[in-house]
Amino acid sequence: MDKNRVLVFDTTLRDGEQCPGASLGVPEKVAIAHQLARLNVDIIEAGFPVSSEAQFNATKIIANEVKGPVIAALARCVDLDIDKAAEALKGAEKPRIHTFVATSKIHLEKKFRKSEDEVLQMAIAGVKRAKSYFDDIEFSPEDSSRTGKEFLFRIIEAAIKSGATTINVPDTVGYSNPDEFGALIREIFNTVPNIDKAIISVHCHNDLGLAVANTLAGIRNGAGQAELTINGIGERAGNASLEEVVMSLKTRAGYYNKTVNINTREIINTSRMVSTLMGIPVQPNKAIVGANAFAHESGIHQDAMIKDASTYEIMTPKEVGLDASKIVLGRHSGRHGLKQRLTELGYQLSQDELNHIYDRFLEIADKKKEVFDEDLMALVGDENADDKDAYRLEYFHILSGNKAIPTATIVLNYQDKSIQEASVGDGPIDAAFKAIDRIIQVPLKLTEYSLRGVTGGKDAIGEVLVRVANNGNKFLGRGASTDIIEASIRAYLNAVNKSLQIQNKESQSNSTKAEL
């Protein structure tokens, strides 16, 4: 490999998904993985297969379907983890097992109660077992930046000797700073005798807001791979943001003298997809992908921009795929045109999903003159279209006013039967949710509700996100409509249907176990 090339390892679907509140279903993960392939990342970390059935299934489907990037799966240095990761990766064109064990004194004493030698043996055994399945093996000494150097160098050397081809150096708790982290990477190169047989990777968390700076310092000091997430999402304060690292390397190419193979024009689509499907909005002033990243407010700036954009823009909006928002389709657009535009935006839909979205699109196009990309993205995924047992909204009627008791009548369709209920509530949305609760008769707890206008104007689509808790699990629901009460009902139903799907699966597997 060209020594100036930096491999982009995307961990949005693994570390990113550990972000509080960001739980993705299998279809959403697969959609994001396809989009990451369009972005042209080098490696997709698809999940942590041993951790749940959903993680295993998502990794397996991604390994089977997504071609181009290496597909990686995470595993502790534990036999069961490694075997599960290997099984999930069986169908991958280019599989990689990423195995890790904590190495810092704090973790060894407080988490494991193991000695350095015991952990060293775990690392050797883990890498060797992973190597018995595939050639491409990554090893991470977790909490590297707080690990004693002598032990860190020893375990890296042993992991390479056992077959690791990539050594990842995580700043697991975001404790390091750029000078220190860059020096650590340099020292690894200068000290570990067999380091020329592996690529060094950097994996930085953002607890002190330094994840991108630390990653770039690692790259300046020779790291050949960077582990990143879209929108910088991830455990606690998140991981280093892919778009920020990539655009830094590109915009300051003369300074870094490194190349990446990313199709930067897919950055905005990917960012929006991840934000929408995870239900985590991007802050407006976020670098590269925030709504204000290319907005110029002051008169002096606007005047200069008209004369020459380079006065106040160091990269063009076009480079990151931010062309002016397009009116894509109207009332007379056909199913084919809708499908094509959604595919361009990164969505791959089943025929049932497409049919549902098309019906919704026609309703929206009737109410709104202009349908934007953002409107389409808000519509995708609020329908549970592939779920035959989903409750669907047939009809709602709301009575509300400053002197009236808010009352909702809801008719849902369930397995081709209409079910009607009514309820009063503190407001029209509360009344509607209570009427739905009466129909489904499952004790759900609403833990979060938010509403945003998707595009500008009085006829903008409102997108509602809700989170509901059922039996300790949390479910995200999204709903979109030009009517905010309808959007709220759709979001609630979306979450309800997801939670019932899991509940049905669990009771099916319990009854199978009981029969055995």
The option from ligand KIV, Zn ion, none interacting with 142 (CB < 5 to 8 A, set by class) reads: ligand KIV
Report if residue 375 touches ligand KIV, rule: CB under 6 A.
no
> Which residue, 104 or 269, is less far from ligand KIV as judged by CB?
104
Report if residue 129 touches ligand KIV, rule: CB under 6 A.
no
CB under 6 A: which stretch of 168-176, 189-197, 403-411, 443-451 binds ligand KIV?
A: 168-176
Report if residue 103 touches ligand KIV, rule: CB under 6 A.
no
HSE of 226 in the Cβ direction (CA atoms, 13 Å)? 38
Report if residue 215 touches ligand KIV, rule: CB under 6 A.
no
Determine the Cα–Cα distance for residues 374 and 416; give it in Å rounded to an integer.
32
Report if residue 165 touches ligand KIV, rule: CB under 6 A.
no
Q: Please, what is the minimum distance in Å from the beta carbon of residue 58 to ligand KIV?
A: 17
> Which residue, 223 or 408, is less far from Zn ion as judged by CB?
223
Give me the residue label for tokens 């392939």: 37
**Radius of gyration (Cα) for the chain, nearest Å?**
25
> Which residue, 50 or 357, is less far from ligand KIV as judged by CB?
50
Cβ atoms within 10 Å, residue 445 = 9
Report if residue 142 touches ligand KIV, rule: CB under 6 A.
yes
The option from Zn ion, ligand KIV, none interacting with 146 (CB < 5 to 8 A, set by class) reads: none
Report if residue 17 touches Zn ion, rule: CB under 5 A.
no
> Which residue, 201 or 482, is less far from ligand KIV as judged by CB?
201
Choosing from 15, 28, 244, 382, the residue that interacts with Zn ion (CB under 5 A) is: 15
Q: Please, what is the minimum distance in Å from the beta carbon of residue 34 to ligand KIV?
A: 23
**Residue type for 417, please?**
K
Contact assessment for residue 80 and residue 121, using Cβ atoms and an 8 Å cutoff? no
**How many residues form the binding site for ligand KIV (CB under 6 A)?**
9
Query: Rounded to 5 degrees, what are φ and ψ at 301?
Result: -65, -45
Determine the Cα–Cα distance for residues 391 and 493; give it in Å rounded to an integer.
7
> Which residue, 142 or 486, is less far from ligand KIV as judged by CB?
142
- Residue ranges with strand state E in 400-472: 407-414, 417-424, 445-453, 462-470
> Which residue, 278 or 429, is less far from Zn ion as judged by CB?
278
Report if residue 143 touches Zn ion, rule: CB under 5 A.
no
Choosing from 49, 69, 170, 224, the residue that interacts with ligand KIV (CB under 6 A) is: 170
Report if residue 203 touches ligand KIV, rule: CB under 6 A.
yes
Report if residue 171 touches Zn ion, rule: CB under 5 A.
no
> Which residue, 112 or 395, is less far from ligand KIV as judged by CB?
112
Determine what percent of the chain falls in helix, strand and coil, rounding each to the nearest 5: 45, 20, 35
The option from Zn ion, ligand KIV, none interacting with 434 (CB < 5 to 8 A, set by class) reads: none
Contact assessment for residue 138 and residue 108, using Cβ atoms and an 8 Å cutoff? no
Residue 95 corresponds to which tokens in the numbers above?
């599989």
> Which residue, 198 or 349, is less far from ligand KIV as judged by CB?
198
**Residue type for 351, please?**
Q
**Residue type for 160, please?**
I
Cβ atoms within 10 Å, residue 356 = 20
Contact assessment for residue 233 and residue 19, using Cβ atoms and an 8 Å cutoff? yes
Report if residue 356 touches ligand KIV, rule: CB under 6 A.
no
Q: b/e string for 461-494 if b means 16 or more Cβ within 10 A?
A: bbbbbbbbbbeeebbbbbbbbbebbbbbbbbbbb
Report if residue 138 touches Zn ion, rule: CB under 5 A.
no
Determine the Cα–Cα distance for residues 395 and 217; give it in Å rounded to an integer.
57
Report if residue 238 touches ligand KIV, rule: CB under 6 A.
no
Q: Please, what is the minimum distance in Å from the beta carbon of residue 170 to ligand KIV?
A: 3
Contact assessment for residue 82 and residue 100, using Cβ atoms and an 8 Å cutoff? no
CB under 6 A: which stretch of 22-30, 164-172, 245-253, 262-270 binds ligand KIV?
A: 164-172
Report if residue 96 touches ligand KIV, rule: CB under 6 A.
no
Contact assessment for residue 372 and residue 379, using Cβ atoms and an 8 Å cutoff? no
Report if residue 172 touches ligand KIV, rule: CB under 6 A.
yes
- Nearest residue to 383 (alpha-carbon basis) of 411, 404, 403, 360: 360
The option from Zn ion, ligand KIV, none interacting with 140 (CB < 5 to 8 A, set by class) reads: ligand KIV
How is the beta sheet containing 445-453 ordered, strand by strand? Answer: 445-453, 462-470, 473-481
Question: How many residues does this entry show for the chain?
Answer: 516
Q: Please, what is the minimum distance in Å from the beta carbon of residue 160 to ligand KIV?
A: 17
Of 41-70, binders to ligand KIV (CB under 6 A) are none
Point out which residues bind Zn ion (CB under 5 A). Answer: 15
Point out which residues bind ligand KIV (CB under 6 A). Answer: 15, 100, 140, 142, 168, 170, 172, 203, 205
